[in-house]
């Protein structure tokens, strides 16, 4: 069976960490937990494609790709953290550079199920996310003043929120099925509340007192759990509910 093959492939991968995880290293523990959860979520989303109607299958595929790509990067990030106790900035941002556009594809799929959306909306969100991530990286890597980079990245994020909330999406959502409405409401909450955890991590890590990689990474790891796994599960739940109802 194809899934079994995939699972085996994922499990034989090495751990990418030379040292051992210390019991009092809470940030390291959070890397470990999220890595395992991402693996489980990936297998789950791909297997569950069989349980939803065809219009939801792409959404589950995208969710599985997001958690799968993140799982792959967490293997390395976890290793960097355990071995050096420093932020795996490069792996983190390569991961986001791939998974954030995929989440925007997911947003787009949900919006399209609710209302007529112009493809320019996708472009706007995509460009906004690029600006947000590029300046986040420059600020974290020390290539730019951390505060200036933060303000520019925040503006890009607020721009994305504005793009999603303007438009007739909210009004049209009322005509959609309850399951689609749930998916839509979740998406609107995720980009505002779920994504807000990331700038919080940046503030704790870079803008108050000394640079604090332990706080930064534990908050980012938590945020990834919410925005990649939990978000995917809520979409999955809406998909299964609607698929069974029809
Ligand atoms: C799966 C990964 C996701 C959904 C990552 C999302 C990342 C953000 C929303 C990051 C936002 C940032 C700001 C709004 C300002 C400070 C810099 C960032 C990049 C942490």
| Gap between the terminal Cα atoms of the chain | 28
228 C-beta closer than 6 A to ligand 1? yes
pLDDT at 3: 66
238 C-beta closer than 6 A to ligand 1? no
pLDDT for 161 beyond 60: yes
> Domain segments of the chain: what residues?
22-244
pLDDT at 7: 64
Q: What pTM did the predictor assign?
A: 0.93
152 C-beta closer than 6 A to ligand 1? no
Report the nearest-CA residue for atom 9 of ligand 1: 195
Nearest in space to 41 (alpha carbons), one of 68, 20, 23: 68
Residues 180/169, Cβ–Cβ less than 8 Å? no
99 C-beta closer than 6 A to ligand 1? yes
Distance between CA 122 and CA 164 in Å, rounded?
10
Average pLDDT over residues 144-151: 98
Token digits of residue 28: 């390291």
Average pLDDT over residues 67-87: 97
Residue 200 Cα, ligand 1 centroid: separation in angstroms?
9
Token digits of residue 122: 């996708």
pLDDT for 210 beyond 70: yes
- When pLDDT is cut at 50, 70 and 90, the band that residue 16 belongs to is low
- When pLDDT is cut at 50, 70 and 90, the band that residue 175 belongs to is confident
Token digits of residue 163: 């793009």
Q: pLDDT digit string (tens) for 19-30?
A: 789 999 999 999
pLDDT for 169 beyond 60: no
Residue 222 Cα, ligand 1 centroid: separation in angstroms?
12
- The fold for domain 22-244 equals Rhopdopsin 7-helix transmembrane proteins (1.20.1070)
Residue 241 Cα, ligand 1 centroid: separation in angstroms?
30
- When pLDDT is cut at 50, 70 and 90, the band that residue 4 belongs to is low
154 C-beta closer than 6 A to ligand 1? yes
73 C-beta closer than 6 A to ligand 1? no
232 C-beta closer than 6 A to ligand 1? no
Distance between CA 167 and CA 208 in Å, rounded?
37
Residues 229/41, Cβ–Cβ less than 8 Å? yes
């Amino acid at each position: 069976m194809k899934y079994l093959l995939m699972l085996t492939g994922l499990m034989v991968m090495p751990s990418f960490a030379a040292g051992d995880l210390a019991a009092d290293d809470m940030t390291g523990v959070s890397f470990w937990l999220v890595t395992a959860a991402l693996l489980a979520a990936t297998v789950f989303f791909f297997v569950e494609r069989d349980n939803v109607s065809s219009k939801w299958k792409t959404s589950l595929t995208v969710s599985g790709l997001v958690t799968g790509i993140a799982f792959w990067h967490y293997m390395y990030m976890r290793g960097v953290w355990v071995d050096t106790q420093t932020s795996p900035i490069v792996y983190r941002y390569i991961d986001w550079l791939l998974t954030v556009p995929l989440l925007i594809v997911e947003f787009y799929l949900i919006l399209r199920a609710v209302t007529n959306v112009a493809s320019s909306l996708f472009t706007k969100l995509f460009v906004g996310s690029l600006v947000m991530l590029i300046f986040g990286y420059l600020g974290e890597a020390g290539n730019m003043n951390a505060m200036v980079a933060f303000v520019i990245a925040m503006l890009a994020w607020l721009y994305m929120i504005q793009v999603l909330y303007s438009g007739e999406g909210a009004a049209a959502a009322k005509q959609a099925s309850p399951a689609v409405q749930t998916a839509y409401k979740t998406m609107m909450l995720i980009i505002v509340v779920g994504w807000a955890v990331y700038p919080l991590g940046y503030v704790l890590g870079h803008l108050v007192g000394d640079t604090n990689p332990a706080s930064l990474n534990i908050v980012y790891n938590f945020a990834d759990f919410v925005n990649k796994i939990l978000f995917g599960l809520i979409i999955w739940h809406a998909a299964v509910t609607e698929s069974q109802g029809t």
